A and B are shown apart, each in its own frame.
Chain A
Amino acid sequence: MSTLHTEEMTLNMGPQHPSTHGVLRFVVRADGEVMREAIPDVGYLHRSIEKIAEKVGYHGFMPYTDRVDYVCAMFTNQGWGMACEKLAGIEVPHRGEYCRVIAAEFNRIASHLLSVGAMAMDIGAVTPFTHAIREREMINDLIEELCGARLTFNYMRIGGVAWDLPPGWREKALAYLDHFDPILEEYNALISWNKIYIERLANVGVITPAEAVNYNLVGPNLRACGIKWDIRKDIPYSVYPEFEFDVPIGDGHWGKLGDSMDRYVVRIREMAESSKILRQALQKIPGGPVLAKVARNFKPPAGECQIRLESGRGDMGWYLVSDGSGYPWRVHVRTGSFAAMGIIQKLSAGLMIADLVTLIASLDVIAPEIDR
């Protein structure tokens, strides 16, 4: 039998491609259906947000932080607030912290819903996406009532949050959670335990725990590798120590530990945990002010600090350098998507081209968060 003549080809995927979650581009070197390498090309959404911070001042930068990650903007708001508060030693009122946690956890559910829905759609199942988006819309409605925006919230301020919960909002939020918990079961029955879906995800894009740490993967991607690490538990911030919740980790139940299915299931389970936190927070929320007194002409003392918080995409680091003036000297955001993109080139060798889509979706990268 004569051997088949094969030839390496170079394919371009993106920047406009329905499954790349924003504007990303890959240069794929493939032999038939099997990839030798997929080289990510990022930067299409670079708006130099860090440079803008140096020009607009501390309070003025808050709306811009929304644009760092528009899918879970509450966390970028909170990160910026926390960095400034840590440097200036401002204490957020107790109720303000509760409002932050409530808004942020709703946002986490919305972000994970988009992630798991879009993942199913990328694999080829369109219906689950509409189910996920339907639920996300309701959360958007709730958040809209809270702060007036559905995507770029600008809800938090240095020293707390801008507005208290509107009257009757708490009951609405609790009613939504009662509606949401069974929906998660419905969603699992619809797609998560579907045989074809599991076959597509299990054993694809396996990341070992050592690799995940070395490449600085964070959040659900790290936990899917079996590492029990959540900033909310391990470097506690805000009022998270007051709540009881579990940190779901991957166990390799469907294939190897750290495959795409593990990453998917961790996100599904995290939504249930967020719902738990929300119930406790809405029940226990104390009275009092929501915003500390912060000077309009806010000038933190000269110095530098880094804070870390658990965003929807994992550990987000804000590095802030101040020279004592009214404008930050340097701001740097270290985001989960940036690190996740860095590992794709390594993981792609030997994968099928169709699995590249699975891999990107399972790492849950958001283009503006990579490029900032």
Chain B
Amino acid sequence: MESLQILERVKNKFADRVLETSEKAPDPFVVVDPKSIVEIGKFMNEDPDLAMDCLSNETGVDYKDRIEVVYHLFSYSKRHGAVLKVKLPRDNPSVATLEGVWKSANWMEREIFDLIGVNFEGHSDMRRILMPEDWIGHPQRKDFVEPAEYHGISTVRESPIIRLDTKKK
């Protein structure tokens, strides 16, 4: 199936919970209600025509006024894919985990939690994955300010190049 047909099918099934559609090339997508993401995910996984057996990619994007979680679904048996999105408020973003449908969501959601700060409800192991456990803040947020030091290790370095023209006599 073409990506647009897949999205059409999702819209027909969950008319009231598809909030927005973008048919813009190259990758069309639908924005769905965060509350029903698990239900929609399950449907797309189990429906024999869609058979999305793989969550190929899951990532978060900070748009300054909202945070989006993007799901790239893919089907090995049908050889087609589709893109789903949810929009979340910037303070305290939270959405249900898709770990129960696709196991690969486990680590990708941990990464989103770590770098963007989205809380995934019902996740089995919601810990930081890439940053140290005592890190404060979420680095992929647009307003993240890099701390000057981490445990006494400076995060800036003076340029080792000696500028002869500005050297004091």
Query: Which residues on A are within 8 Å of B, measured CB to CB?
Result: 42-43, 46, 48, 50-51, 86-87, 210-211, 213-216, 227, 229, 234, 303-306, 308, 315, 317, 319, 321, 329-330, 332, 334, 338-339, 341-343, 346, 371-372
Contact = CB atoms under 8 A, between A and B. Distances in A.
Interface string B70-99: 101000100100010000000000000000
Given A214-B103, A234-B79, A87 B26 contact: yes
A50 B138 CA distance: 13
A358 B72 CA distance: 31
Nearest to B29: A304
A48 B55 CA distance: 23
Given A42-B129, A334-B56, A215 B26 contact: no
Contacts of A211: 103
B101 to A, nearest CB: 9
Contacts of B61: 321, 329-330
B130 interface: yes
Contact of B107 (A48, A305, A341): A341
Contacts of B76: 213, 227, 229
Given A216-B102, A334-B57, A339-B107, A305 B27 contact: yes
A248 B139 CA distance: 41
A334 B56 CA distance: 8
B119 interface: no
A308 B54 CA distance: 14
A44 B95 CA distance: 28
B145 to A, nearest CB: 12
Interface residues of B, number: 31
B107 A332 contact: no
B24 A303 contact: yes
B104 interface: yes
Nearest to B85: A304
Given A46-B131, A305-B27, A342-B106, 15 more contacts: A43-B129, A43-B130, A43-B132, A51-B139, A213-B53, A213-B54, A306-B27, A306-B57, A306-B83, A317-B57, A319-B70, A330-B59, A334-B72, A342-B104, A372-B130
B104 A214 contact: yes
29 contacts: A42-B129, A43-B128, A48-B139, A51-B140, A87-B26, A210-B53, A213-B53, A214-B102, A214-B103, A214-B104, A216-B54, A216-B56, A229-B76, A303-B24, A304-B27, A305-B26, A306-B27, A308-B56, A315-B56, A317-B56, A317-B72, A319-B59, A330-B59, A334-B59, A334-B108, A339-B104, A341-B107, A342-B106, A343-B103
Given A46-B130, A341-B107, A214 B53 contact: yes
A361 B70 CA distance: 31
Nearest to A315: B56
A332 B56 contact: no
Contacts of A210: 53
A215 B99 CA distance: 10
Interface in B21-49: 24, 26-27
B154 to A, nearest CB: 16
- Per CB-CB distance, the 7 closest pairs between chain A and chain B, nearest first, are A216-B104, A342-B107, A43-B130, A46-B130, A332-B59, A334-B57, A305-B26
Given A214-B53, A338-B107, A342-B104, A319 B139 contact: no
Contacts of B140: 50-51, 330
Contacts of A48: 139
B70 to A, nearest CB: 7
Nearest to A211: B103
B78 to A, nearest CB: 12
A306 B79 CA distance: 16
A81 to B, nearest CB: 15
Contacts of A51: 139-140
B53 A319 contact: no
Contact of A215 (B83, B104, B111, B139): B104
A172 B49 CA distance: 50
Nearest to A45: B130
Interface in B107-149: 107-108, 111, 115, 128-132, 139-140
Contacts of A371: 130
A294 B142 CA distance: 28
A338 B102 CA distance: 15
B142 to A, nearest CB: 8
Contacts of B132: 43
Contacts of B139: 48, 51
